[in-house]
Structure formats: C-alpha cells, structure tokens
Amino acid sequence: MESVSILVDVQNVYYTTRQTYGRNFDYNKFWSKVTNNRKVVHAVAYAIDRSDEKQKQFQNILRAIGFEVKLKPYIQRSDGSAKGDWDVGITLDAMEYARSSDTVVLVSGDGDFDLLAERIISVHKSAVEVYGVEALTANSLISAATKFIPIGSDLLLN
C-alpha cells in the first residue's frame, strides 16, 4: 500500500477558496479522496492561533478527521500588518516526512514551495502531489509537482 504524508497550509487554502469560490474547503471530502487506498504516515494541518472559540472548534474537527494540528501565534505588528507564516515549518517537516513516504501531499498554492517539491522528488524519490486553487496556485509549484490536483467544487463545503 502506498504511504502518504499530508501537509495542509490552512491559511493558504482558507483564503484561496474563499477568494475564488466564496466557500470553505471540505477537509472531510479531501481526507476521503487523498487517503483512499493509502497508508497515512503523517497528516499535519498548519494554522495560526488566534485563540477564539470558533477556531478551537475547527481545530478539534481537524484532529477528529486525523490531522495533527500545529499552531503558531498570530502576531499583529505595530504598523498594522500581521505575521503568521508556516513556510519554514512545513518545509522542514516535508523533508523529514518524505524519507518515510512514497508520496507527500501539499495543500497550498504558495510558489515558495516549488523548490521543496523539486528537492523531495530529486533527493527522496518521493512523489509530490499539490492541491491548490488553480487560479491562485503559482505556476512554478504546479510545474514542480509530480501531480497537481485543482481544488474545485468537489472539495468545497456547500
């Protein structure tokens, strides 16, 4: 059975699905699709912690599905901008998890991950599947992936 590690950039998928479709990503449908006939080695959802009740409920739903939820604090800068980026954490985990996975699934449209995909494929000989909203996924990431799966209405909540 194929082994898989799943890494979800929660903020990226939230904003891209809302911007493009005005709807939210359906983590249950995604889980069913991505884990079908596969052994899950790791499944991590990377999110920003704003410590509100609705967010805590969402995180508990992710855990119930099967994700480990990793949180970083939400940082509001004095100039009004915000910081809450998981790129380095996702990259470090992906490189580690690729050692024990036939496939690494990355849910993000962030072009910063193109080098990560290339490295996983060349160094670890693992496949890299990228799920992203096509219109908002960097072409460089689509090109670097072994397989690109566009997020469409089949992976969105009604």
Please determine, for residue 80, whether its predicted confidence score (pLDDT) is greater than 70: no
Residue 25: per-residue pLDDT: 98
Q: Where is the domain boundary, 70, 85, 100?
A: 85
Q: What is the DSSP letter of 18?
A: H
What number is the average pLDDT over the span 59-73?
96
Same domain, 98 and 147: yes
Same domain membership, residue 147 and residue 102:
yes
Q: What share of the chain has pLDDT > 90, as a percent? A: 87
φ and ψ at residue 8, rounded to 5 degrees: -115, 120
Verify that 104 and 78 share a domain, yes or no. Answer: no
Indicate the pLDDT class of residue 75, thresholds 50, 70 and 90: confident
Q: How many Cα atoms are found within 13 Å in the side-chain-facing hemisphere of 55?
A: 16
* Claim to verify: residue 136 and residue 125 sit in the same structural domain: yes
Are both 121 and 138 inside the same structural domain?
yes
3-state secondary structure of 57: helix
pTM of the model: 0.94
Instruction: Tell me whether residue 155 is in a domain.
Output: yes
Sheet holding 127-132, edge to edge: 68-73, 38-49, 2-9, 103-107, 127-132, 147-150
- 149 and 106 together in one domain: yes
Is 104 found in the same domain as 81? no
Number of domains forming the structure of the chain:
2
Give the C-alpha separation, 38 to 36, whole Å.
5
Which of 85, 100, 122 is the endpoint of a domain? Answer: 85
pLDDT at 84: 65
CATH number (domain holding residue 158): 3.40.50.1010
Q: Domain residues for 52?
A: 38-85
Question: For residue 20, is it within any domain?
Answer: no
- Model confidence at 60: pLDDT above 90: yes
Average per-residue pLDDT for the chain: 94
- 5, part of any domain: no
9 occurs within a structural domain: no
Please determine, for residue 81, whether its predicted confidence score (pLDDT) is greater than 90. no
**Residue 77 has what pLDDT?**
67
User: Do 103 and 157 belong together in one domain?
Assistant: yes
- In sequence order, the β-bridge partners of residue 68 are 44
105 and 143 assigned to the same domain: yes
